[in-house]
Chain A
């Protein structure tokens, strides 16, 4: 094998391994306890009350939104962060989202867009687990994010003006 090809393989394998390594990080992939599902109320396509009456933390929310094992919002959305290199282009950019919409609107979209738009592909991060088809065994009965995590993400999105 010529040295250039070897170098390319090394770089590509390195990149691949780093990703695998990151995905296997137990600290970020450990599942929280299954918790009971809090019902929420939709009014004019908004959810105005925080889930389970919880208060969000914007700093934690930022970490959740960019973490590949948790929110991973950047899988599909652009967000204006210098420290995140790989974004998705499937969803609209979330830059300035908190300045454009009221909190209740954003909560509705993050919790369960499909409840009012069945064609949507935005994952319902707090969709009723009973409506999920073939969840992996480890996720049966769980929402994508916990109610607290959803409130954290929303608190964070509201700081993006």
Chain B
């Protein structure tokens, strides 16, 4: 996305309506690309397997940290009711101090690390459950990643370069599948636009939860590429770029996806 496109995106967001990611393609949630049964499963609170992760996360939220001192709930409320859902909808965020991208799981792990020296590695099951619980607090709130300012624009541009780079033996870029061929089929599987508003999501393809970070790794594995490390700058730049591209789409966490 060039600067102009991003500015257009920001303007559209400010105008407060639905907007398209580009002039030609309508911005659609992954929800629009999955089968009817999958949508029904997501919409039914008794059938959506992702809600198990929400419950696990809720339990961890009130579980004391390793050193026995404190819980997430102590600061954020036992149901997470003291969390600001608008801010949760804005992740990943740019941290001006470290000049880097902080994802929601980074923030949660960082919080545990600061308070109780109890950090969890990226994409750890428990961390993903906590992320699912926290993001679920903002269910229905539109994704609203901040794209303002030169630093953020520069990072978004780097994210876009990564999005358009070819990887692995399949030698295709994210852009080819999720922008050019969205709506087409890969072996009977409809390709979506790779929007981020459903994550962490329950994946039928693996039978497990995946946050955005893991989903990108899984796509890179599909490309027979060496995936970016879960805590690498590259994958966070991709997460940031993809998430900004999802601005305006209501959060569906936990979505059910292929």
Contacts and interface: CB of A to CB of B under 8 A. Distances in A.
Interface of A: 1-2, 5-6, 8-9, 11-13, 15-17, 19-20, 68, 72, 74-76, 85-90, 114, 121, 123-124, 127, 132-137, 139, 142, 144
Contacts of A144: 169-170, 224
Contacts of B189: 86
Contacts of A72: 187
Contact of B170 (A15, A17, A74, A123): A123
A142 B184 CA distance: 29
Contacts of B226: 134-137
Interface centre among A15, A132, A137, by most chain B C-beta atoms within 10 angstroms, is A132
A77 B169 CA distance: 18
Contacts of B40: 8
Given A13-B207, A135-B169, A88 B187 contact: yes
Contact of B188 (A12, A17, A87): A87
17 contacts: A1-B46, A2-B46, A8-B40, A9-B49, A12-B37, A16-B204, A85-B188, A88-B184, A89-B184, A133-B168, A133-B171, A133-B225, A134-B167, A134-B168, A136-B226, A136-B227, A139-B224
B175 to A, nearest CB: 10
A144 B224 CA distance: 9
Contacts of B169: 123, 132, 135-136, 139, 142, 144
B47 interface: yes
Contacts of B165: 133
A86 B186 CA distance: 8
B60 interface: no
Contacts of B204: 12-13, 15-16
Interface residues of B, number: 34
A122 B245 CA distance: 27
Contact of B187 (A2, A6, A17, A75): A75
A63 to B, nearest CB: 16
A17 B206 CA distance: 7
B38 interface: yes
User: Binding site of B, secondary structure by majority: helix, strand, loop or mixed?
Assistant: loop
A49 B46 CA distance: 60
B162 to A, nearest CB: 11
A103 to B, nearest CB: 24
Ranked 5 nearest A-B pairs via Cβ:
A86-B188, A5-B47, A75-B187, A1-B46, A16-B204
Given A121-B176, A133-B171, A134-B226, A68 B187 contact: yes
Contacts of B18: none
Contact of A20 (B41, B47, B184, B207): B207
Contacts of A90: 181, 184-186
A123 B172 contact: yes
B86 interface: no
B183 to A, nearest CB: 9
A142 B204 CA distance: 31
A124 B224 contact: no
Nearest to B203: A16
